[in-house]
Amino acid sequence: MQDVADPAERRIVYGFATWHHLRRLRRQSERHHITEGQAERARCTIRAAINLTGWLNARGTRLADCIQADIDRWLADGPASRREARPFTTWTDQHGHTRDVQIPPSPPSLRITRITDDHRWATVKRLLHDEHLAAADRVAGLLVLLYGQSLTHITLLTRDKIVATPDGIQLLLGDVPVDLPAPLGALVQQLDRDRYGSAVIGRTDTHPWLFPGRTPGRPLSIGRLKARLAAIGVIGRIARNTALIDLASQLPPAVLARLLGIDINTAGAWAERAARSGAAYAADLTRRPSFDRF
């Protein structure tokens, strides 16, 4: 906050951080664990608010005197990350600190980066069968590649999400369990048996996490999982894009949301992206290998 020289302006930014973000995060923490991604999102918007206020002050303009032309110039003269100040300008308008200034939402990307279908299924086959890789890395990578799971969701999976049935192993990712193919089901069972984190002192059987972290009783961090997957050739965002495009081309949004634990609006957006992806990708899907070949 010290980057905002004017005390009155600093109080406005502090009020945004406290009443917009901190209060919301505290309410959410009463219902579920606050993820690293949620915390980082709050930090990004607060940093953007500080940068915008400092930029205006350096030009002799106070927030109260800011006009849309100032905002447009600020956006045009800097990186795309400046759009992260949108929640701040919305909040300042609502509370009378600014007058009719807006930062438009980022335009949705029309081109989603993804890996090729052949590369995806070759990686799936390697993770299913390469016993030199850690079971945790294999399972996490397969959950991204096959079911489009986010790293946040994976790190927060608990052992009670594993369901053993007479027909095999299921995993509860959303509202209804997903039937896992036999090789992956066996890997999940192995991971459940060997569920210790990397901590040597304080090792325990009692933690609930399927992916325990270095700190006893805590799950694996998102950053650590991201690095581990990258080391075995799985880039989380790109691999997840590929899986979700695939799944959204085959399943209705309501089914996708219930199976994968994603919001129905998010599932609908992926369905639209899948529809835009063109006939070429649909043709690839018909040629993809089945689990019988693994």
Task: Give the closest residue to 152 by CA, choosing from 216, 214, 210, 225.
Answer: 225
Task: Give the closest residue to 154 by CA, choosing from 115, 210, 206.
Answer: 210
Quick: pLDDT tens for 42-72: 777 888 899 999 999 888 999 999 999 999 9
For tokens 């918007």, the residue is 45
Confidence of residue 88 (pLDDT cuts 50, 70, 90): very high
pLDDT score for 244: 92
In the chain, the amino acid numbered 173 is L
Confidence of residue 285 (pLDDT cuts 50, 70, 90): very low
pLDDT score for 216: 79
pLDDT score for 105: 78
Q: Classify burial at 172, counting beta carbons within 10 Å of its beta carbon; exposed 0-12, middle 13-18, buried 19 or more.
A: middle
Sign of the dihedral defined by the CA atoms of residues 46, 50, 51, 53, in that order:
positive
Q: What is the dihedral of CA 256, 229, 142, 206, to 10 degrees?
A: -90
Q: How many residues does the chain have?
A: 294
Say whether 228 sits in a helix, a strand or coil.
Answer: helix
Q: How far apart are CA 230 and CA 105, in angstroms?
A: 30
pLDDT score for 4: 66
Confidence of residue 118 (pLDDT cuts 50, 70, 90): confident
Question: Higher model confidence: residue 138 or residue 17?
Answer: 138
Give the strands of the sheet with 168-172, arranged side by side: 162-165, 168-172, 177-179
Crossing angle for the helix pair 222-231 and 135-147, to the nearest 10 degrees: 90
